[in-house]
Amino acid sequence: MKSLQQAFSSDQTCLLDVSANSMESLIPVVIDRLIENGLLPADQRDEVIETFVAREHVVSTAIGHSVAVPHCYLDGLTEPLIAFVRLEHAVNLGALDGTPTRYFFFLLGPTGRAAEHLDTLALIARLMSDDELRYDLGDAADAEALRWALGRAAERSRPQQQREQVSDGLAYTGRLCGGLRADIARRLPHYVRDFRDGLHPQSLASTLFLYFACLAPAVIFGGLMSAETGNSIGAVEMILATAVCGIIYSLFAGQPLIILGGTGPLLVFTAILYDLCQPDKLDIPFLPAYAWVGFWTAAFVVILAITDSSCLMRFFTRFTDEVFAALISLIFIYKAVWSLADEFRGLDAHDHHDTALLTLLLALGTFYIAISLQRFRRSRYLLPWMREFLSDFGPTIALIAMTLVAIWLHGVDLQQLDVPESVRPTLATRDSWLINPFDAPPWVWFAAAGPALLATVLVFLDQNITARLVNSRDHKLQKGEAYHLDLAVVGGLIGLCSAFGLPWLVAATVRSLNHVRSLAVVEESVSNRDNQRHDHILHTRENRLTGLAIHILIALSLLLLPLLKHVPMAVLYGLFLFMGVVSMKGNQLFERLSLWAMDSSLYPGTHYIRRVPNRTIHLFTVLQLVCLVVLWVVKGNGTIGILFPLFIAALVPVRLLMNRYFKEEHLQALDAEEIPEEEETQW
């Protein structure tokens, strides 16, 4: 470590953002710079360069993880020397892991002292396997920042006596508000930095993408809720709740990467509650009853937050997370496909063939452009900054491009985004936004606690499972978890929305995961097995600015409602499809399902395939698939749909029962909380 600290000791031995496209073009630049700084004798220049180049011709010194260690030992050199070089853009030097090389440690010294660098070489290989170090080295502006990055990496690499099985955010304190206070203490030191870290072009791209990705579900869920509640709660209420709750959440929650939104289970619950309030049932006013259920739900959720109840989420494993995430992804894909299929029903109508065909083309065009541009970061074409721009802004470019195509083909009648003309309650008989809960009979004030218990279970699971997915170690988040604080904020917001007749919002899985991935810094690699390009997350730009900006834009949308009417629903269906497909990425359930159609001799070399028999892998996958099908059926069943949260909770005992029928080492591989560090992505 001392030798590396010497390499980062000054700008003389640190060359940052050097422009080179091969090792042969890089070596003379580095040697000339060292000579200029008086670190090498000028008369040794040609010999040193020839030795470096000859070494590279024998075998590449790129050792993987985007690092190479060129070395040269000559009798004419007097003292060992290490120089660090960062290229402006990575180049492919044939590393075994297929990752282009951007970082170089040049090792120089006299012939007899080559052994002194052996420990340094091992240290470099170990430290550079740290994704966060590679991100910090790429972000450093000078030698001081490099030394800081090295110090952080050294701290992380120190061996721990025992690795904690339960994260700090899910630890049970045993004290009232103990977890809540711990969350605040963990996140408060990062509060100012959360805004500063959002000042990056990638944040702008994320904001524009998520703006439409959040606005479209708000309008669609609002329309569905309007139909299910007799216009008591509609699109205006959903957009207003999304904007207000999103702004408050981004300012006061612990994990600002989570996006709040309406969800299918909450829609089902609200629809059942409305049906119970009808004259042929309980004959009570819906909105006051809805307010009382919301007040009780808010109280129960806050009580769960202050009693550390979120620590129960430690019993939820990757098994549960994958099933839940798969369900939400499939809901988005199903909604897009069903809406497109609906256009082709009743084709006898005038011009309906043109409408249906153009709707399909616009949706598929939006999906294709968005998915293609997202992958353009791996392309060999254009300059690197252009590839980054197109990749980051891909969904926004797709939406704008297809909207312009629809406007150009104005002769075809397309369904437009259905938004109201002005900001007013959807229900015509409402003369005020504020709901008077005392319009409900007195017995409702207390009886509402019953359905509120079911709503509380639903909110608790929806919020915390999504939070677990967002806080996954695979996303490389660094600022800590805040399950209890997030739950308390959501509880308060449910109470606020209930008072104004607004829909309840919780963490929206697909939107939250797309938010995280839109802010991720990824590193590309090429699989030696199938020669395909893959990437994995190095770092995620955790910040509050994107969430705040997204929901401020949604609030401003209430002033621009007439303009939004020009956005075709077909384009939003394409965006839904894109979000659903992208959120499937990284879900091992879908990866293992693909094994069923694959030649077993060509299975990728993932950690669980290497350690678990194929039969056991397929059995584990079948059980997850059965759970997914059951949840899908329950969700769509109006009679038992209100019990949906209980079926989600039932995934925990199902997983615990598997301990009796699967070997422990097999479950540890299949249900690992994170991908093992020694494994590179094989898919």
- Smallest CA-to-CA distance from 184 within 626, 488, 449, 587 is with 488
Structure tokens belonging to residue 567? 């956005």
The enclosing H or E element of 363 equals helix 352-374
- CA dihedral sign, ordered 318, 589, 375, 259: negative
Q: Which letter does DSSP use for residue 515 in this model?
A: H
Residue in this structure with the two tokens 């004259």, named with its chain if needed = 279
Residue in this structure with the two tokens 């919301």, named with its chain if needed = 294
CB 671 within 8 A of CB 317: yes
Distance CA 230, CA 233 (A): 8
Structure tokens belonging to residue 240? 């207003």
Residue 653 CB burial class (10 angstroms; 0-12, 13-18, ≥19): exposed
Structure tokens belonging to residue 185? 């203490």
Q: Which letter does DSSP use for residue 111 in this model?
A: G
| One-letter amino acid of 512 | S
CB neighbour list of residue 628: distance below 8 Å, 6 or more residues apart: 323, 326, 327, 330, 589
Which ranges constitute the DSSP H helices of 471-595? Answer: 483-499, 509-518, 545-557, 561-564, 569-584, 588-594
For the chain, the farthest-separated pair of C-alpha atoms sits apart, in whole angstroms, at 99
Specify the pairing of strand 260-261 against strand 506-507: antiparallel
CB neighbour list of residue 415: distance below 8 Å, 6 or more residues apart: 359, 568, 569, 570
Q: What CA–CA distances, in Å, run from 250 to 204, 242, 255, 671?
A: 16, 12, 8, 31
Residue 664 CB burial class (10 angstroms; 0-12, 13-18, ≥19): exposed
548-559 in b/e form (b: 16+ CB < 10 A) is bbbbbbbbebbe
DSSP 495-506: HHHHHTTPPP-E
CB neighbour list of residue 166: distance below 8 Å, 6 or more residues apart: 311, 314
| One-letter amino acid of 462 | D
Distance CA 433, CA 429 (A): 11
- Catalytic residue numbers, as ranges: 71
Residue in this structure with the two tokens 């809960």, named with its chain if needed = 437
Q: What CA–CA distances, in Å, run from 118 to 64, 146, 197?
A: 17, 22, 38
Q: Which letter does DSSP use for residue 99 in this model?
A: P
Show the CA angle centred on residue 292, arms to residues 462 and 468, nearest 5°.
10
66-105 in b/e form (b: 16+ CB < 10 A) is bbbbbbbbeeebeebbbbbbbbeebbebebeebbbbbbbb
